[in-house]
Structure 1
Amino acid sequence: MRAALYPCVVRHTRTAPLRHAFVYRTYQWLVDLDDLPRLPGPLAWLGRFEARDHLGDPNATIRANLDAFLARRGVLADGRVVMLTNARAFGHAFNPLSVYWCHDRSDRVVAVVAEVHNTYGERHCYLLTPDDDGHAETTKAFYVSPFFGTGGRYRMRLPEPGDGLALAITLYRDRVPVFVATLRGTRRAATTRVVLAAAARHPFVTLAVSARIRLQGIRLYLRGLPVAARTPHRPEEDTQ
């Protein structure tokens, strides 16, 4: 698999206890963990893929760390692994969500890992076994928004991207959907021209994503939404 870019649209919709929505455009990378792209010369500042930005040992590889995470949970993914993520750009990395599709030797998806980062420098990895349509459910176990605690349950739709990208995550509390995030885009080969065009449209892309999240948080706070208490989170890959 050659690396790809997905110019995409992100939508967040909060329905309770008050309604709030926002939309923004960005782009994401889809890469093979065994064949990570290395942009030449100065272009390397536009996209680096480093273990320190993801789960596990920053001195190992992303693939080795993912394999160790899966092995501790009895999952063998001995085929290719593709990752949808933001690359480190201009020395900065921030990934609200990175998704790993883990295949066996017959190229069947045996697991999906949803790696979530919050703006407090913490992360959590959800190990999922989606159905044939990419649907999976899991209990919320990580503090992301300052206005939601860790209660609730996620319903996710995470089909492996092809020509199109269409992911959705819905948070339910007491069986009522209170938050929906969607990500939709169209595949582009990660040529030099495409990478430069994406960077020109979305300069300092990861800083922009982080700033947007904080701005929306300020708006919600000013609207009177109460802040939920947060306790420090131990990364999921550090637990047995």
Structure 2
Amino acid sequence: MVNSVYPCTITHVRTEPLRHSLRHRTYMWVIDPDRPPRMPWPLRLLARFDARDHFGGDEPTVRAGLEKFLAARGVDLAGGSVLMLAHARVLGYVFNPLTVYWCNDADGRPLCVVAEVHNTYGERHCYLLRPDASGQDTVGKEFYVSPFFPVDGDYRMRLPRPGERLNLTVHLERAGTRPFTATVSGERREVTPAVLLRAALRHPWPALAASAAIRIHGIRLYLRGLPVQPRPRHRPQEGMK
């Protein structure tokens, strides 16, 4: 399943204090960050994966940034494999609301999952997960993402390793309720120039479209009277931007 393209649908469903939903079609990549896909020129402009776009952005590779983040939390990959879900940099632009890293130990056994969250203010935060057999774990919310939710509550994340299907779910839980749910669902395609070109023609500048959709829906919520929550000062994690 390494180096695959997943045409997918991303949904955001908000239930409190008012109901609102977002549905966005795009495509994402699942890659081995140690051996990212290398497409023929000029298709490389549609599929770049840069270390500057992840973690602290100051390591030579994405893998090095991940290992630095994990080492600061007492986790050693010890040469184990990594699978990464992300948008690629397309025509010089990328925005990844959620990047997921599935990490195995040297014997190929699941070790941990890292969920890297980017907000629209250029900030990043990572959550270290120890999922159960269903791919699920719960972590406290520590990062300002939506301007309409304060930094409190928990995330219940179900992030099973992708196969022929990609099915991810993130619930925000606050005071016994689930006011927000995000899902990503898609079907695997083998990476070929034709598959990439077809996806790019259907969804040109996919990361830019995702960023624009988030901002447009934010404006709609503001116009409907949803109050904006104060944004706390961002304090980068160790090994993060």
TM-score of the two chains, using structure 1 as the length reference? 0.97
CA contact (8 A) 1:134 1:160 kept: yes
SS of the residue 2:143 aligns to: coil
- Identify the range of structure 1 (36-45 vs 216-225) with the bigger mean alpha-carbon deviation: 36-45
Task: Give the match for residue 159 of structure 1.
Answer: 160
Task: Give the match for residue 146 of structure 1.
Answer: 147
CA contact (8 A) 1:2 1:189 kept: no
| Residue identity in the other structure for 2:86 | T
In structure 2, relative to structure 1, the CA distance for the partners of 1:153 and 1:2 (3 Å cut) is: closer
1:44-55 map, 5 Å: 44-55=44-55
Q: Percentage identity across aligned positions?
A: 56
- CA distance, structure 1, for counterparts of residue 238 and residue 112 of structure 2: 15
Task: Give the match for residue 88 of structure 2.
Answer: 87
SS of the residue 1:210 aligns to: helix
1:4 aligns with 2:22: no
- CA distance, structure 2, for counterparts of residue 59 and residue 185 of structure 1: 31
| Residue identity in the other structure for 1:170 | H
| Structure 1 residue 64 displacement after superposition | 0.7
CA contact (8 A) 2:59 2:65 kept: no
Task: Give the match for residue 120 of structure 1.
Answer: 121
1:12-161 map, 5 Å: 12-77=12-77, 78-161=79-162
CA contact (8 A) 2:86 2:99 kept: yes
CA contact (8 A) 1:33 1:80 kept: no
| Residue identity in the other structure for 1:9 | T
SS of the residue 2:16 aligns to: coil
Count the aligned residue pairs.
239
- CA distance, structure 2, for counterparts of residue 235 and residue 100 of structure 1: 19
| Structure 1 residue 21 displacement after superposition | 0.8
| Residue identity in the other structure for 1:227 | V
CA contact (8 A) 1:55 1:237 kept: no
- CA distance, structure 2, for counterparts of residue 117 and residue 217 of structure 1: 16
TM-score of the two chains, using structure 2 as the length reference? 0.96
| Structure 1 residue 59 displacement after superposition | 4.2
CA contact (8 A) 1:151 1:173 kept: yes
CA contact (8 A) 2:2 2:32 kept: yes
CA contact (8 A) 1:56 1:66 kept: no
| Residue identity in the other structure for 1:138 | V
CA contact (8 A) 1:125 1:237 kept: no
Gaps of 5+ in 2: none
| Structure 1 residue 57 displacement after superposition | 3.8
- CA distance, structure 2, for counterparts of residue 65 and residue 120 of structure 1: 21
| Residue identity in the other structure for 2:12 | H
1:184-203 map, 5 Å: 184-203=185-204
SS of the residue 1:199 aligns to: helix
| Structure 1 residue 220 displacement after superposition | 0.1
In structure 2, relative to structure 1, the CA distance for the partners of 1:237 and 1:188 (3 Å cut) is: farther
- CA distance, structure 1, for counterparts of residue 41 and residue 48 of structure 2: 12
- Identify the range of structure 1 (34-43 vs 179-188) with the bigger mean alpha-carbon deviation: 34-43
| Structure 1 residue 74 displacement after superposition | 1.0
1:171 aligns with 2:208: no
